[in-house]
């Protein structure tokens, strides 16, 4: 999984929005300590959180599963531009070797003495280019079998639009994701919680760490221990 912050709005924009409400522009210190404290006081402590919606962040997220993508879609106050499955299955179609090598999960487990050796198997390593593994062998091998079935279907010249119905939830995807600070606070609060699925919890923590240092004070209280 990779997280890249592509762009973000200046804190001065939110400070200006807040000062618009009271016409207190003369009290601004042009993004200094007074303006930063104002944003925290009004946006966070007083919960006049609509002012935080002027702050936007655009991330490029890659190497996430389609299962995580579904969870992201539940955070509706955000914009997602997702890698098209329809147009990007060619690299899988071009794979000429099997991902399972005809083995069942039982045969794979019997072939090696521990899980690390299984995941270092050449076929599993090739599959990891396309799949997010959970490190639960039964689940991951089932994903590899699904990947192999999809590869064979693509080689039967079935159109991508139809073949994509066979995609496993673990199939990797990527997207450009834009979200405002108010919604991002909600996302970080919910998704860094220990009850969140491990993959989206990892993503939420990575997003927080990718934020500009001078913006993190707005989100510190949202991060679960």
Active site residues: 191
What the block records as the tokens of 157 is 């010249």
Work out the burial of residue 95: count CB atoms within 10 Å of its CB; fewer than 13 is exposed, 13-18 middle, 19 or more buried.
middle
Helix (H, G, I), strand (E, B) or coil at 166: helix
Give the span between the Cα atoms of 129 and 159, in whole angstroms: 22
Give the span between the Cα atoms of 52 and 214, in whole angstroms: 15
Give the span between the Cα atoms of 57 and 146, in whole angstroms: 35
Work out the burial of residue 56: count CB atoms within 10 Å of its CB; fewer than 13 is exposed, 13-18 middle, 19 or more buried.
middle
What the block records as the tokens of 174 is 């990527």
- Could you tell me whether strands 78-82 and 2-8 are parallel, antiparallel, or unpaired per DSSP bridges? unpaired
Question: What does the CA dihedral 34, 40, 42, 48 come to, rounded to 10 degrees?
Answer: 150
Contact call for residues 142 and 170 (beta carbons, < 8 A): no
Give the span between the Cα atoms of 166 and 174, in whole angstroms: 19
């Amino acid at each position: 999984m990779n997280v890249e912050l592509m762009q973000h709005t200046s804190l001065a924009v939110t400070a200006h929005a807040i000062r618009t409400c009271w016409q207190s522009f003369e009290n601004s210190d042009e993004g200094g300590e007074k303006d930063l404290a104002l944003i925290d006081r009004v946006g966070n402590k007083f919960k006049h959180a609509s002012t935080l919606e002027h702050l936007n962040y655009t991330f490029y997220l890659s190497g996430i599963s389609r299962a995580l993508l579904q969870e992201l879609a539940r955070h509706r106050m955000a914009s997602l531009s997702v890698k098209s499955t329809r147009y990007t299955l060619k690299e899988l179609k071009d794979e000429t070797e099997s991902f399972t090598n005809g083995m069942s999960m039982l045969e794979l487990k019997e072939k090696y003495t521990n899980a690390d050796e299984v995941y270092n198997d050449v076929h599993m390593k090739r599959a990891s280019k396309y799949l997010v593994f959970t490190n639960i062998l039964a689940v991951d091998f089932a994903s590899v079998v699904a990947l192999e079935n999809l590869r064979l279907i693509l080689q039967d010249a079935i159109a991508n639009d139809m073949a994509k119905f066979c995609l496993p939830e673990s199939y990797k995807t990527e997207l450009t994701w834009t979200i405002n600070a108010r919604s991002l606070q909600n996302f970080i609060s919910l998704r860094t919680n220990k009850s969140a699925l491990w993959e989206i919890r990892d993503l939420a923590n990575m997003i927080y760490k990718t934020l500009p240092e001078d913006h993190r004070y707005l989100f510190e209280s949202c991060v679960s221990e």
